Structure 1
Amino acid sequence: MTDESWAGWYRDRGGSEAVVLTTDGQQLRIRIRGVDFEGGSFDGLAPVPGATPESGMFALADGALTDCVLEWDLPLPVRVEGTVRQATLGCLLSLRRADPDLYLTLHLDGAVYESARAESDFAAALAAIQRALPDGVQLQTCIACAFSDYFPATGRGLSGSLACFRGAKDAYRDAEGEGAVLGLWDRRTGFVQEIWSCEEFEVRPAKGAGTGHRGTFPLEPLEPLELLEPLESA
């Protein structure tokens, strides 16, 4: 995967500054006030090994950034009647509460499509936007892809716990239900961000085989559960 960089802003009680978020679809990286942070989820950004922020420079919870707001824009591919077009996704993430608050806005052809103001994760926010889009317009991101799924019996988390099965496409095309995904779990390629998109994207089936454990997209609402770190050896 090729890195992408997204310009944005970081704000906390110490002030605000322009930042650049960089990701390869799996790991996120950001430099704030000269300190490098990285993590697999937007609520898991921790100082890189060897980085030693001055005491009080940042609020950290379990080693990760908290009590702050991140805001950024990124180009997002959408399919309009089968033709790929570029839209812009605006992301506003507040980590100032026990649970993250996320708000997404999709800008396409002068129109704006919004999620709820306080979504709990990227999967739910992107599903809300997909439901708002006109017929014939579809997001082309990992959450809408035919080869992605979540580990059965866990919650989704804010981001980054979506498993990619692009290395086992034929097998996943026949997968339906929890047991089928569990049987394929060790064949996953890795974990990806829900807002990522790659050249191997295929539209997720509307029903039946190929819908895996999580089902179709837009997703059905999930009861919020605390999610552990991505299960590399589950």
Structure 2
Amino acid sequence: MTDESWAGWYRDRRGSDAVVLTTDGQQLRIRVRGVDFEGESFDDLAPVAGMPPESGMVALADGALTDCVLEWDLPLPVLVAGTLQHATLSCLLSLRRADPDLHLALHLDGAVYESARAESDFAAALAAVQRILPDGIRLQTCIACGFSDYFPAPGRGLSGGLACFRGAKEAYRGAAGEDDVLDLWDRRSGFVQEVWSCREFEARPADGAGTGHRGAFPLELA
């Protein structure tokens, strides 16, 4: 996978700093005040080995960034009447010691489609955006892909816990229900960010075979 970089801002009680978020679709990386952080989820960004931040430079909880706000924009592919276009997704994430709050706003052709102000994770926020899009407009990212699913268990995390089955496409096309996904789990190609997209994207079916454990998008299971 080729890296993507998204310009944004890091804010906390000490002030605001311009930052760049970089991802290969799996791992997230960001430099804050000269210190590099990385992780597989936005709420698990920890200093890379050998680069501990100076005391008081940033707030950490269990070794990960907290008590801060991250704000950034990223290009998001959407299908409009079958034609691929690129919208802009504005992300506002408040990382708190309790639960993070996430707000997404999709900018497309002069209109803005927003999630709730305090979504719990990227899957829920992207589903909220999809539900209010006009007919004929579909997100084309991993959360909407016909080869992605979550492990059949309560909870899924803020981001990055979405399994990709692009290496077992035919088998996943027949998956309907958690037992089928469990049988395929060890054949996953890895985990991906919900906002990522690759050339192997295939739209998720509305029902039946191929809906796996989480169901159709955006009518997925919690």
In the other structure, the counterpart of 1:175 is 175
Number of equivalences: 222
TM-score (norm 1): 0.94
- Aligned-pair distance for 1:58? 1.0
User: In structure 2, what residue type is equivalent to 1:51?
Assistant: M
Counterpart of 1:208 in 2: which secondary structure? coil
Mark the CA change 1:11 to 1:109 in structure 2 (over 3 Å): closer, same or farther: same
How far is the alpha carbon of 1:221 from its aligned partner?
5.7
Quote the Cα distance in structure 1 between the aligned partners of 2:52 and 2:115: 37
- Does 1:29 find its partner at 2:29? yes
Aligned partner of 1:65 in structure 2 is 65
CA distance in 2, matches of 1:12, 1:126: 26
User: TM-score normalised to the size of structure 2?
Assistant: 0.99
Equivalent residues in 2 for 1:72-87, closer than 5 Å: 72-87=72-87
The alpha-carbon distance between structure 1 residues 221 and 184, as it changes in their structure 2 partners (threshold 3 A), is: closer
Aligned partners of 1:92 and 1:26: how far apart in 2? 20
Q: 1:96 offset after TM fit, Å? A: 2.7
Rounded to whole Å, the distance in 2 between the matches of 1:219 and 1:122 is 14
Alignment of 1:95-174 (within 5 A): 95-174=95-174
Which residue of 2 is the match for residue 205 of structure 1?
205
Secondary structure of the equivalent of 2:88? strand
Q: Partners of 1:135 and 1:4 in 2: how far apart?
A: 29
1:118 & 1:219 partners in 2: Cα distance? 19
| Residue 40 of structure 1 pairs with residue 14 of structure 2 | no
Percent of aligned pairs with the same amino acid: 83
Which one-letter code corresponds to 2:91 in the other structure?
A: C
Considering only aligned residues, what root-mean-square deviation do their CA atoms show, in Å? 0.8
Q: Secondary structure at the match of 2:52?
A: coil
Aligned-pair CA distance for 1:97: 4.6
Q: Is the 8 A contact 1:123 1:219 kept in 2?
A: no
1:13 corresponds to = 13
Asked whether the equivalents of residues 124 and 219 of structure 1 are also in contact (C-alpha less than 8 Å), the reply is no
The CA distance in 1 between the partners of 2:104 and 2:146, in whole Å, is 22
Q: Which AA in structure 1 matches 2:61?
A: A
Residue 52 of structure 1 is matched in structure 2 by 52
Q: CA deviation at 1:14?
A: 1.1
Structure 1 residues 188-220: Cα deviation after superposition (integer angstroms, max 9, x where no partner): 000000000000000000000000000000034
Specify the alignment match of 2:89 in structure 1.
89
Unaligned runs of 5+ in 1: 223-234
Secondary structure of the corresponding residue to residue 118 of structure 1: coil
Q: Is the 8 A contact 2:130 2:139 kept in 1?
A: yes
CA contact (8 A) 2:215 2:221 kept: no
